[in-house]
Amino acid sequence: MSARFGVNYTPRTGWFHHWLDFDLDAVRADLDAIAVLGADHVRVFAVWPLFQPNRTLIRPAALRQLGSLVDAAAERGLDVSVDGLQGHLSSFDFVPSWVSTWHRQNLFTSDLVVKGQAAYLTAIATELAGRPNFLGMSLGNEFSQFAGRLHPSAAELTVAEAEHWLQTMLAACAAGAPRAEHHHSEYDAALFDPVHPFTPQLAARLGTRTTVHSWIFNGTAKRYGGLSEQSVRLAEYLLELGRGYASDPHREVWLQEVGAPAPHVSAADAPEFTRRTLDHVLDCTGLYGVTWWCSHDVSRDLADFPELEYGLGLIDQRGRVKPEGAVFAEFAGRPPVEPAPRTLGLVLDSGATSSDDLLAPRRDTCAPGGAFFEAWMELAMAGQRPAVVLAPFAGDELHLKARRIETLVTVERL
């Protein structure tokens, strides 16, 4: 398998507000710049309240514009994956008025809301299904944050309800585009917060592949340093963690987001961070691809972004490729090399009682500073190339064999 290289498309002019002033020529210019990087795909983002301002109004013009964006990408040899429920982007939440304040409902369990979301995802998938460069949908960028306990308007949710919502949304995508590949994405709390209703097993077992979003501002950079081994291996670690939670030993992982955030990584260090991160990531087996965050820096004309969000682009505001963009392009242009299997499995006991158990009540062991995190990093830094084996699979010979795992080690015995 040859890993795909792509970028998360952040429109140079207007950021995602560009949907309000959609300009296909500006999109084409952005995509031209992305193609120059050697990317083979982009991940693009609808803005939910603009596409579906009323529950029963999914704007045909918005769907047409999205379609024209996908077509413009095709003209440049770029495939496209589309996130529907934004939802959340770079600290900003976009939630339609029909589920806010006076109309507030649980975004995951309200029957009307779920029907509305499903209709919306089906509409997008239907619009794009016939386009050969359409890869499929992601439900929404880290939508599960709306069920995170730190969210200002967190929804109450059980794991069973989270699973049901994911199944329903994935089915809605498939209803519109049955042959495309549909995914969902999680954020750190789902992987590390013991009580988050979206569990790592849901992340690793629903949808076509397991997606990984790797951000060193999750505590890794603060604890270990922005250019520490822990930071430049965070994406590798999360990919292996995703592999470990899967029940299918052959399930692929997709590094759907990774970036070099200031001030944890200075502008001068961003190329090195990018190079070392990608080196490690390409040493993971089962890697579907890498989608860098992001294509274009955010304009300083736009206010109120967290400082780090302005400078994440591989391309600057004037359209010039940044040094980290050159590193990305170098990797994207390399001939593919299949890494050797990882034969050492570090056993993860995050509390699941069986291979079917979807709970991970001790998943905080995986967070930066947690015992499992530290043990895995220790092995990795010692050159051991550790994989992750979830405890219920540690006695499953077929599973281990399929993954080419030969040796198991537990955190306690390190």
In the complex, what is the shortest distance from the CB of residue 57 to a second copy, in angstroms, rounded to a whole number? Answer: 6
89 vs 347, beta carbon nearer a second copy? 89
In the complex, what is the shortest distance from the CB of residue 146 to a second copy, in angstroms, rounded to a whole number? Answer: 9
191-195 contact pairs (CB < 8 A, 24+) = 191/238, 191/241, 191/363, 191/366, 191/367, 192/218, 192/363, 192/364, 192/366, 192/367, 192/370, 193/148, 193/149, 193/363, 193/364, 194/351, 194/360, 194/361, 194/362, 194/363, 194/364, 195/149, 195/361
Collapsing DSSP to helix, strand or coil, 5 comes out as: strand
Q: Which residues are at the interface with a second copy (CB under 8 A)?
A: 14-15, 17, 20-21, 49-50, 53-57, 59, 61-62, 91-95, 97-98, 100-104, 112, 116, 151-153, 301-304
In the complex, what is the shortest distance from the CB of residue 211 to a second copy, in angstroms, rounded to a whole number? Answer: 22
In the complex, what is the shortest distance from the CB of residue 87 to a second copy, in angstroms, rounded to a whole number? Answer: 11
C-alpha 71/C-alpha 10 separation (Å) is 17
C-alpha 41/C-alpha 255 separation (Å) is 13
In the complex, what is the shortest distance from the CB of residue 130 to a second copy, in angstroms, rounded to a whole number? Answer: 24
Answer for the pair 333, 36: CB distance below 8 angstroms, yes or no. Answer: no
14 vs 194, beta carbon nearer a second copy? 14
Q: What residues contact residue 308 under an 8 Å CB cut-off, 6+ apart?
A: 217, 261, 262, 263, 264
Residue with tokens 């509390």: 351
44 vs 352, beta carbon nearer a second copy? 44
C-alpha 315/C-alpha 299 separation (Å) is 12
In the complex, what is the shortest distance from the CB of residue 196 to a second copy, in angstroms, rounded to a whole number? Answer: 17
In the complex, what is the shortest distance from the CB of residue 188 to a second copy, in angstroms, rounded to a whole number? Answer: 15
53 vs 225, beta carbon nearer a second copy? 53
C-alpha 255/C-alpha 5 separation (Å) is 10
143 vs 288, beta carbon nearer a second copy? 143
Tokens describing residue 71: 């077509």
Residue 27: count other Cβ atoms within 10 Å of its Cβ: 21
Residue with tokens 């982009």: 42
Answer for the pair 312, 297: CB distance below 8 angstroms, yes or no. Answer: yes
103 vs 334, beta carbon nearer a second copy? 103
52 vs 220, beta carbon nearer a second copy? 52
94 vs 198, beta carbon nearer a second copy? 94
In the complex, what is the shortest distance from the CB of residue 61 to a second copy, in angstroms, rounded to a whole number? Answer: 5
C-alpha 227/C-alpha 221 separation (Å) is 8
Cα–Cα–Cα angle for 82, 88, 89, rounded to 5 degrees: 75
110 vs 343, beta carbon nearer a second copy? 110
In the complex, what is the shortest distance from the CB of residue 144 to a second copy, in angstroms, rounded to a whole number? Answer: 15
